Amino acid sequence: MDVGVGLFIFSNGIVVKPSAAAFSKKKFQKLLVSCLPLFMLGFSRLVVTKEINYQEHVTEYGVHWNFFITLAVTKMLGTILEGFMKTTDHMKYSALMLLMFHETCLQLGLSSYIMDDNVVRNNLIAANREGIFSVPGYVGLYIGSMYIGTLLKSDGQELLKVREVFYKTLKLSLTSAFCWKMIFVCNSMFGVSRRTANMGYAFWVLAVGGSMLTLFMLTEMFIYYTNFNRPQWQQQAESNNKSQLDEPDFHVPYVPLILQAINYNGLAFFLIANVFTGIVNICFQTMLLGTPASILI
């Protein structure tokens, strides 16, 4: 679940198209409208869970906070900060500086305040300290994901040379390797915590997401640039013994339809998964179940 929520933010960040226009009032209003459904989902989840007395772990995000609110606030702050970044290097260094600032605050006492179960939740900030004070870490993760997304952009080119794709893959793999190295550094110094969304957690998600994308790109190169899987138009032409091939279709889909459906409806599938998880938690006392029953469910 920890890597899942991180990868959801990662998948939102890599598909962001950097805007060349400066941040304006109109752009901010458009951003508010786009984030409104997430705020509504967060508020709806809060109301439903309180009404049905749903079992919750307040140490995850707090008493009133939840992941949908984190996602909405992260998108808002990340988009605002992105409006002041002129180059991709600005994204990289901004993400690093934000994560370093967040980790510094955590080490200066913020982490102890968040993790201390003896702190009374007697006000709105104290009651939701996990969700509120983890936002800078998620924003740093979001901007870092945006930077990784720029490594995959093709500048509007419909067809890329193998050398260009290989160069992008190599650069992405080196970035992923750096993130993996930083995980060990962070873990030895201050650990990895999803509750605080510290630097170690952000690098953990970036390393996993970057490594997965690297494998996907290698697979794509294998499929598109070798003869092991020829396009359908060529196979059909050869089967019909045509001397002249028809116009090739370079948009033959290689991705299974079910994966395309999930890809284009990520939030809907995320909501469905949450609903089914909630049904299981309502029907069973999951904390008391043993390993065989858990695996069966």
pLDDT for position 239: 53
Q: Which of 4, 9, 1 is nearest to 77 (CA)?
A: 9
- Among 19-23, 49-53, 120-124, 255-259, the minimum mean pLDDT is found in 19-23
pLDDT higher than threshold 80 for residue 235: no
Q: Which residue has the tokens 């936002």?
A: 135
pLDDT for position 242: 47
pLDDT for position 232: 54
pLDDT for position 209: 95
| pLDDT single digits (tens) 149-177 | 988 887 666 667 778 888 889 999 999 99
For residues 91-116, give the mean pLDDT. Answer: 93
What whole-number distance in Å separates Cα of residue 179 and Cα of residue 145?
A: 12
Which range scores top for mean pLDDT: 129-138, 163-172, 253-262, 281-290?
Answer: 129-138
pLDDT for position 119: 87
pLDDT for position 244: 47
The H or E element that residue 232 is part of is helix 232-239
Q: By percentage, how much of the chain surpasses pLDDT 90?
A: 41
pLDDT higher than threshold 70 for residue 109: yes
- pTM: predicted TM-score of the whole model, two decimal places: 0.82
Bigger pLDDT: 237 or 154? 154
What whole-number distance in Å separates Cα of residue 101 and Cα of residue 49?
A: 34
pLDDT for position 260: 84
Q: At a CB cut-off of 8 Å and minimum separation 6, what does 65 contact?
A: 42, 128, 130, 131, 132
Q: By percentage, how much of the chain surpasses pLDDT 70?
A: 87
Angle at 160 between CA 156 and CA 165, to 5 degrees: 110
pLDDT for position 129: 93
Whether 158 and 171 have beta carbons less than 8 Å apart is answered as: no
pLDDT for position 163: 80
pLDDT higher than threshold 70 for residue 245: no
pLDDT for position 238: 54
pLDDT higher than threshold 80 for residue 13: yes
| pLDDT single digits (tens) 189-198 | 999 999 999 9
How would residue 22 be classed by pLDDT, with cut points 50, 70 and 90? Answer: low
pLDDT higher than threshold 90 for residue 130: yes
pLDDT higher than threshold 60 for residue 40: yes
| pLDDT single digits (tens) 57-66 | 888 898 899 9
For 131-157, the DSSP string reads: HHHTHHHHHHHHHHHHHHHHTT--TT-
How would residue 31 be classed by pLDDT, with cut points 50, 70 and 90? Answer: confident
What whole-number distance in Å separates Cα of residue 165 and Cα of residue 171?
A: 10
